[in-house]
Structures are given as structure tokens and as C-alpha cells.
Chain A
Amino acid sequence: MVTKLIKSLNEKGQTTLFKIVGNSNKLNKKTTKKIKKEHFSRFTFLVSLQYLNEKEKFLSEVFIKNNKVIKIDLKSFKTTTGKSKEIEIDNIDTEYEIAKKNIRKKIKKKKKYFNAINLLNEKLEKEIERIYKHYMDQSTEKDFELENAKKRLSQLKSQLNHSREHKEIINLRKNIKFKEEQIKSLKEDEYKKRLENERQFFVEDEKNKYSLNIKIELFNISIFYHNQILKDFS
């Protein structure tokens, strides 16, 4: 039900026009005709933070006037539906770019953002630690294996030098050959490089898994125009 409602509303309510009528007084009424109509824009963004299997959404707004970000409280003013004939809008693309730039800064100060980052940090650090430890252990084991094989080879060679018995010599030669092949294969394997590449691959995989995806989508643009109290906004 809710999903259907959202779907049907998706393409509507994206643009609204308000005329500010609040704080009106006699003075303003008298001067209204003399003052050129001015406007400011409110960009409302729908921000989705997606990380792991969690998704959080919130709205965030930026007010822009004359290509500058402004701060404003709309509740101080009464508004009514505006008339499109009464205004001229010529720089909305620029305003949009400014708003977009500003929204990024705002998001990074949000508690939700920090919560997500904290959670990701905690998990990712653990995962990266696991991967680093695993590959370090593997590398150490391989070093040890290579070292042992070398020691054994040297022992076998020394035994061969002192051996007189034919059967024993054949046996030792066989073992030497085996050890040499083992050492060769370990060296050819270039395990350090291989393990390093593997480690990088899996660390990268984890980084992607624990990434924070921020999707910023324009939810609504509202134009507010007015005849007075301009100084209050700037």
C-alpha cells in the first residue's frame, strides 16, 4: 500500500512555488509595488546511506539566493501558493550545482553518517586484520618450508659425501633430487609476490564490501518569492 503510494507520488510534488505573505505590514503593502520581486530556492535532497545490508534515508535541504547558500526559517513566514507569471527563474542550474556541493558537506556532519562510518570501521578493521594476519602467517610458513628444505638438502649432500654404501647413495641422490625440485618449485612459485597479490585482492574485496554508498537524489525544488524583508535573508 505504502509502496504503491510512493510510486504514484514519485513523479509529482517535485516542484513547488510559494509566495511569502508573512510578516506583512502596512509599510510593506505600500512599498510592494515599488520593489522588484525577488526569490530564493529550496533544494530538498533525498539522501540514502547504504552500507552492508543497511540502508538509511533522510531529507536534507539547502537554501540558495543569488547563487549563495543562505540560512532561513520558513516558519516565521506565512506562505501561499505562488503564481508562475509573477517570477523569472534564470539560474537554476547554477543554483543546483551550488546546492549539490553544499549537501555533501552537510551529510558529512550527520550523526547517521558517523554511525555508519563507525560501524564500517569496526567491521572493516577486523576483516583487514584477519586477511593481513592470514597472509603473513602463510608467508612465514612458506619461508619456513623453504628454509627447512634448504637445510635438509645441505644435510643430504653432506651425507652423500660420506656415504659408501651403494643402496644408500642411490637413496640419498633420490632424496636430494626431490629436495632440489621442492626448492625450485617454491622459488618458481614466487610465493611472496603471489601472496601479496592475493592479499591485495581480498583487502580490496573487503573494502568494496564495507564501502559507504551515498546516493543523493533531488526530492523537490521549491521557489519562494517575496516583495519584502529581503535584508533578513542576506
Chain B
Amino acid sequence: MIIIKKKKKGDKNLKKTDIKVVTKYGFEKPIWAVTLEDLYDEDEIIPQDDEKIVKEHIKIIESYSNKDKKILQKIKNKKFENQNILKLKLKPFEIYKKEKLDELLSYPLIKNNLEYLPHQQEGAIRILRDMDCRALLADEVGLGKTITAGMVLKELIFRRLVKRVLILTPPSLMNQWKEELKEKFNLDFKFINTTSDWVKTKYCLASLDRVKWFDKKLKKFKHDKAHEIYWDLIIVDEAHKLKDRRTDRWKFVDKLQKKRLLLLTATPFQNDLLELYNLLYLLKRGHLGTLSKFKEKYLLQEDKRHPLNPEELKTKLDEVMIRRRRDQTKVKYNKRIAKIIEVNLTKEEYQIYENIIELLMKHYLNWKEEKIDTKMAIYSILPKITSSSRSSIQSLKKIVNNPKYHLSTKNFAKEILKNYKKIKINSKIKRLIEVVDNILSKDKQTKIIIYTKHPATLKYIVSKLKPKKLQVVEFFGGLTPKEKNKRINEFKNNAQILISTDTGSEGLNLQFCNNIINYDLPWNPMLVEQRIGRLDRIGQKKEINVYALATKKTIEENIVDLIVKKMCCIGLVMGELPIILINMGLDSIGKSGSNKIQEKLMNAFIESKDNLEKFAKSIDEVEKQINKGVEKYQITKKLNSNLLD
């Protein structure tokens, strides 16, 4: 508000200097000093002395527009424009002059592409306004971390606050990111393929696995050009992979010059609070003190997962972390229904199974005729023989062709291979076809995803399903991003069945499908969770049918029952089982190099000496242990919530 104050009221000979203008802040100016600025900018002029507050370490970067020359040229050419347009131009400017970050100005542009989930907007605003965009977004799986990050990105671009952006993801998620940014946010990101791409690309999408490569001879990162650029925003997806400070991956990200950094992960720490420390060290040096101070202050020696001072740690975390649980949002819980499909082997098939077990237990010898470490053999071969005949044949062929094995071992394997050739019926594939027919007979429009661990099995399943005139799409590792997209779209729009290996399917959004068939099952429940997680996502509107084929009278029967029925489909919401396994220390890699649950199952099998009853008892023990873990989880949920939520 501007008030004109006359010095001498009623004086007809009033001069310009006699009139004072009082600004909103009570600052008086003679009228000759009042400018257009005073009309549109209610800003007070600060006395000269106060300039002292400018500290030397604040960088002031001035820039001038290149457009100015055009205006000057217009004047030189005496090209003048209508003054009413100028007045009109000043009106909307008033609305835009203050751009406080209390709302997402860009949201109207993207809202039609997104499902309305208020926690995503709220998260984006908090990251932008309260955290200066240096944050760890640790929402539970399925709450749409990518969308929240996309909102932050879109807003910053809309407000012209960022010019150079880098998104680092696992290779398998690159395409999903690119597509989502294009489809939902209308942003074009380019892949970084060669080192020269860094200079010419404004919005970069790179695989961290690829760009982190460190040349030991030259003692530098191959993609060190990325370190020369000053990034306005960096987003790292699946950031829990940055849990180890000694890795090239961590060092590569740390060396990047960045104004804003957003780390996305549902599990900021998996096994050890030190992983959380390492993530935060990347985000904000010294936020949790030095490593030794952190250990002293927060770590219990006997328990790396529960902090010594949870409340204090929570306060520190809240400064840089956003974490929402599913129950804090409007994201619905999708019920999972376990459907175990029994497979009865023929006599011949069962004989082969028995023979392979015998081979592994008794005839597995090296060239010196010494017994090879049975555990290692079991770990590498056992899951394959129980999952499918194709992968089993592949393993046997490897034994036959490998010089490190003793002749008697090779001959034994050769015999089994011969027996395989005699088999005319594959009971497992037969049962699969029955299941597929059964699902489709109930609803022709429904979609099914079939998972197998092995590419050879995938090809075999395809060869058996295609003749049945079913529209089948194959999906496996090594496909180009374009091809992957094409295949997913084909599945979404035309095909009934997608057959996929685990490799390459990370990050896929298949919420339009509610039937998953596990032809074979990873013995690691985390991997099974990942499979189901492709369907159990925002947008899934139906109950999820989790089918798993289990061969009777083999160890697979017990394992499928344990992992699918007793772990993945016990009413936990997506993301909770991994937390339970983390709490129990069963998520990590064991001595054998396998996941600890997998290792437990293998050990149980070895100790049972192919006695299925004994094996079943051991499985019961594992189940009891898991149940205890679930119970403990329910009790300690509040404690966890106090720390992270």
C-alpha cells in the first residue's frame, strides 16, 4: 500500500518535493523518488550500512539475459509497442513475483497422468521446502518413491531451478524411469552410453553399475567427466546399494558435485546400522558424526540393527529422511492367495530325481577321485534339479564336459542324461498347462505371468504353450530397453501370458495382472517377494493369486510350502517380509555365498540324507523360527516405527 502524504495541506502551490510517499513498511520517500518498482514491489530499501551482513563465503552469481540485445535492437529500429500491453504484462507478474514452495505449481500439468495419492505430493513439498532437496526418501515398497521423486524433479524444472539433472539407477530400472518420466511428467531423459554423452546431455539417466567403473591402471573413473559437471539435482534409485563406502559405486557418487541429492530406498539399512551411516555420510558429511563417534553413540556391539539411542538417532534421521509406511497412506493392501499346485512325477522321472541326489551325495568326485565338498555341490546344483528338467540336463552336461570331475562321476551323469532321453512325459509342464487352462477358462481376459529361474526352462515352456494358440510374450535378461518396452506393452495390450526369468524383470510394473505362477521357486524368499512385488503395486485392484508348482515326494514340496504359504502369503503387506528377514538376519549372504534361508534349507537337506520326513521336520523348525520372527516383528513394530517413522 502506498499513501501519499502532503506536507502542507491545502497549499495550492504545492511542489513535487513537498509530497512524500509512505511505503507499506513506513519508509518515507519523496515523490520524485517513487518509481514503478514501488507500485509492484512492496520491498523496503535497506540502509547502506546493513550491507555488512553479506558474509564472504556466500557466493553471489550474477547473470544477465541474452534477450536484452533484442530489446535494444528494437529501440534502435524505433520499433515501439503498445503501452497497454506493458500494463497487461505487469498484472500476471504480480502473481508470480513470490514463488514460495508451499504448493507444487507443476502439479496441474501432471495430475491427469497420476493416481491421486496425497502422501506423494506432501513428500515432494517436504523434500523441496524443508530439506533443501538433500534427502533420503525411504518410503515402504509400493508407495511410489519414483513418483514422489518425479514430482520433485518436475517442480524444480518448472520453477527453472535446475538445468543439469542426473538419475542413477540399476540397469534394469533405467527404461522404467525413462518411460515414467516421459509418460507421467513429460520429461525427456537421455541414457548415458559413452563418456562423451555427459557433456551434451542436460537430463541424464545412467546405470550406476556401468558408470562406476574404475580404471585401476589409470587410477580414475572411466566416466570421470561426470565429476567435472556441477549437477543441480542427482537422484539415486535403490540407494541401499550405496551401503559400503569402500566400493567404487559409493565413491563415484561421492565425487559428484551436486547441489541437490535425493536417495531413494525402501530399506536404508538392511542388516547393519552402519549401512545407514554410510548413506547419510554420502548425503550430509558429519551429520551422524565420525564413524567412531557414531559407533560409540548409536551401536550396540551385539546387535547392529537396533540403535543404542533410538530417539536421538530418529531426531537426526528426521532431519534428512522421509519415511512413510503403507498404513499411513491411502495405498490399499492387496490380499495374496497362495495356490500350491502339486506335481506327481512318473516313476521314470522320480528315478532320475533319485539318481541325481545319489550323484550329488555319493558320486560327486573330483579328478583325483576325492569327494567334492558336498555342500557346495548341493548349493549349486540342487535347486536346479528340483526346479526343471531343462536346467537339470544343463547341469549334468556341464559335469560330463568338465575335466575336473572324475570319470566315474561323468559316467554316472551320462547315465542320467540317457534316462532323460527316454522320458516322454514331463509332469511339471503338463501340470503347468492344466493350471493355465484352468485360469483362462474362468476368465479369458485375465493375464498370467509365469516365472522361471532359467532361460532354458523359459524356452521350453514357450515351446509347449505356443502350440496351444496362447499369446505368449517372453521376457529375459539382455533385452534392449526398447525391446523390453515393446514386450511389456504387448503383454499389457494383447497377450495373455508373460513368461519371464528373474533377471531383467526388476522394477517392472505389472499391476494390471493378478496371477503369478512360479514354475520353479528361488529358495531365497526375498527374490520371491520381488517377483510378487511386480504385481503387488499401486493400481492393483484385485486379489493376487500366487501359484507355485511343487513336485510331490521331493524337497521342492516342502520348500514351496514354506516360502509361498508360510512366508510370502501370510497376510503381511508388501515390504514387510524383507524387514522380518532383516531383523532375523536371514536376508544376507551366508558362508556358502547363498542367501541364509537358502543355506538353511540346503543344510537341512544334507543333514536329512535324502530322508524326506527328516527334511520336513527341519523345514518345520525353519517355519517356527520364521513365525517367531513374525511375532517379534509385530511386537517390535512400534519400536521400529519410533525409530524410522
On whether the beta carbons of B290 and A141 are closer than 8 Å, the reply is yes
In whole Å, how far is A69's beta carbon from the nearest beta carbon of chain B? Answer: 12
Indicate if A29 sits at the interface (CB-CB under 8 A).
Answer: no
On whether the beta carbons of B95 and A123 are closer than 8 Å, the reply is no
Given contacts A50-B161, A137-B289, contact A218 B65 (CB under 8 A): yes
On whether the beta carbons of B60 and A215 are closer than 8 Å, the reply is no
Report the bound CA distance from A14 to B242 in whole Å.
51
Given contacts A13-B81, A53-B101, A223-B75, contact A109 B48 (CB under 8 A): yes
How many chain B residues touch the partner (CB < 8 A)?
80
Which A residues lie within 8 Å of B258 (CB)?
205
Indicate if A220 sits at the interface (CB-CB under 8 A).
Answer: yes
On whether the beta carbons of A96 and B68 are closer than 8 Å, the reply is yes
Report the bound CA distance from A92 to B75 in whole Å.
8
In the complex, which residue of chain A has the Cβ closest to the Cβ of B101? A53
In whole Å, how far is A99's beta carbon from the nearest beta carbon of chain B? Answer: 10
In the complex, which residue of chain A has the Cβ closest to the Cβ of B162? A53
Indicate if A130 sits at the interface (CB-CB under 8 A).
Answer: yes
Given contacts A17-B80, A56-B98, A96-B68, contact A141 B292 (CB under 8 A): yes
On whether the beta carbons of A53 and B161 are closer than 8 Å, the reply is yes
Q: Per-residue 0/1 for A37-64: is the Cβ within 8 Å of any B Cβ (1 yes, 0 no)?
A: 0000010101000101111111111010
On whether the beta carbons of B68 and A208 are closer than 8 Å, the reply is no
On whether the beta carbons of A117 and B54 are closer than 8 Å, the reply is yes
Indicate if B635 sits at the interface (CB-CB under 8 A).
Answer: no
Indicate if A84 sits at the interface (CB-CB under 8 A).
Answer: yes
Report the bound CA distance from A2 to B31 in whole Å.
32
Residue from A14, A63, A110, A117 within 8 A of B71 (CB atoms) = A14
Indicate if B219 sits at the interface (CB-CB under 8 A).
Answer: no
Given contacts A17-B80, A96-B68, contact A57 B63 (CB under 8 A): no
Residue from B55, B78, B99, B156 within 8 A of A89 (CB atoms) = B78
Indicate if B480 sits at the interface (CB-CB under 8 A).
Answer: no
On whether the beta carbons of A217 and B67 are closer than 8 Å, the reply is yes
Interface magnitude class on chain A: 35 or more
In the complex, which residue of chain B has the Cβ closest to the Cβ of A56? B98
Which A residues lie within 8 Å of B292 (CB)?
141
Report the bound CA distance from A212 to B63 in whole Å.
11
Report the bound CA distance from A133 to B90 in whole Å.
48
Residue from A93, A110, A213 within 8 A of B61 (CB atoms) = A213
On whether the beta carbons of B88 and A59 are closer than 8 Å, the reply is no
Indicate if B10 sits at the interface (CB-CB under 8 A).
Answer: no
On whether the beta carbons of B160 and A55 are closer than 8 Å, the reply is yes
Q: Taking beta carbons and an 8 Å cutoff, which residues of A are in contact with B?
A: 2, 5-6, 9, 12-18, 42, 44, 46, 50, 52-61, 63, 71-76, 81-82, 84, 87, 89, 92-93, 96, 100, 104, 108-114, 117-118, 120-121, 123-125, 128, 130-131, 133-135, 137-138, 141, 202, 204-205, 207-223, 232
Question: 4 closest pairs, A vs B, by CB?
Answer: A134-B286, A13-B85, A211-B59, A217-B65
Q: List 10 A-B contacts (CB under 8 A).
A: A13-B85, A46-B93, A53-B161, A54-B101, A55-B99, A73-B33, A121-B55, A125-B55, A130-B285, A222-B83
Given contacts A141-B290, A207-B57, A211-B58, 15 further A-B contacts (CB under 8 A): A2-B95, A9-B88, A13-B83, A55-B99, A58-B37, A60-B41, A63-B35, A71-B33, A73-B16, A110-B45, A124-B57, A130-B287, A137-B289, A209-B259, A212-B60
Q: Taking beta carbons and an 8 Å cutoff, which residues of B are in contact with A?
A: 16, 25, 31-37, 40-41, 43-46, 48, 50-51, 53-55, 57-65, 67-68, 70-72, 74-76, 78-83, 85-86, 88-90, 92-93, 95-101, 128-129, 132-134, 156, 159-161, 230, 257-260, 284-287, 289-290, 292-293
